[in-house]
């Protein structure tokens, strides 16, 4: 089914699971990513940056995700990631996105609350879920660099989530966007304290650099949405470079693109397998 973020995270909370949120960077990747989730028996969150959404076309992404979700036995969420402009959020919701993120983390606290609250009121009135962010997650994503900021304070996370009314909360625990050459040192104790302080599902951004050995602790500490982006870019591009470099100029493009999509599907399947609890119930 084509569903909202709230629906899949509510189910994840019941079974103590984490749902993978995977950034799509072109339209070709999406069916392979959803098929991998279907075969794993897991819901999937397909997310796009504003830039990718504008490049592909928001309506095109909605049509594809909704079409597959209604045809296949898999729950699909289409989520706009790290939107900072209310007009982009409006356009995504009008196009049919089922979830949006307003990233006001670079704003003064009070402005972040007020703008996030406006997004929540607008989105909820149209049946769309909202993710907010408190604390700053640094690094580079799709060419946009963000300076390192303070880690999220549990008491501030509680106040923000209550005032803004978000359905999910992205927190800063030491992860970095764009990291893939090494493993990130994250503050697992901080995640647990934030989980104790708030009543909404937590979100980890910059998941590519997180050691998979830490997934279980994050899952136990209320992390219900876990973002993977850079690893998919690297996998797709590595495969595409090998295929395109060896292909004949007049060969079908699918001979080069299908292996790249397969590489992405394998990453998605592997990550989902590590995010699911070993025992459900």
Active-site residue set: 81
d(CA 21, CA 34) in angstroms, rounded, equals 11
Residue 251's contacts (CB-CB under 8 Å, 6 or more residues apart) are none
Residue 118's contacts (CB-CB under 8 Å, 6 or more residues apart) are 86
d(CA 132, CA 202) in angstroms, rounded, equals 10
Q: Strand 144-146 to strand 139-141: parallel, antiparallel, or no bridges (unpaired)?
A: antiparallel
How many residues appear in the chain? 281
Angle, in degrees to the nearest 10, between helices 58-71 and 86-95: 40
- Helix or strand or coil: residue 21? strand
């Amino acid at each position: 089914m084509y569903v909202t973020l709230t629906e899949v995270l509510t189910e994840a909370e019941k079974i103590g699971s984490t749902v993978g949120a995977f950034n799509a960077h072109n339209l070709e990747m999406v069916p392979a990513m959803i098929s991998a989730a279907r075969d794993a028996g897991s819901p999937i969150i397909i997310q796009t940056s504003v830039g990718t959404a504008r490049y592909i076309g928001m309506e095109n992404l909605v049509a594809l995700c909704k079409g597959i979700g209604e045809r296949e036995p898999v729950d699909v969420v289409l989520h706009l990631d790290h939107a900072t402009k209310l007009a982009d959020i409006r356009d995504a919701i009008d196009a049919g996105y089922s979830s949006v993120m307003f990233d006001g983390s670079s704003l003064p606290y009070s402005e972040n609350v007020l703008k996030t609250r406006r997004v929540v009121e607008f989105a909820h009135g149209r049946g769309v879920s909202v993710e907010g962010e408190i604390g700053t997650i640094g690094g580079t994503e799709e060419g946009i660099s963000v300076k390192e900021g303070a880690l999220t304070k549990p008491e501030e996370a509680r106040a923000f989530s209550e005032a803004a009314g978000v359905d999910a909360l992205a927190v800063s625990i030491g992860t970095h966007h764009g990291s893939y050459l090494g493993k990130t040192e994250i503050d697992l104790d901080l995640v647990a304290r934030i989980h104790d302080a708030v009543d909404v599902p937590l979100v980890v951004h910059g998941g590519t650099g997180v050691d998979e050995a830490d997934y279980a602790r994050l899952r136990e500490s209320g992390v219900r949405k876990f973002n993977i982006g850079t690893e998919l870019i690297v996998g797709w591009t590595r495969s595409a470079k090998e295929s395109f470099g060896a292909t004949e100029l007049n060969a079908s493009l699918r001979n080069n693109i299908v292996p790249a999509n397969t590489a992405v599907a394998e990453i998605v399947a592997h990550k989902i397998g590590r995010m699911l609890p070993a025992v459900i119930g």
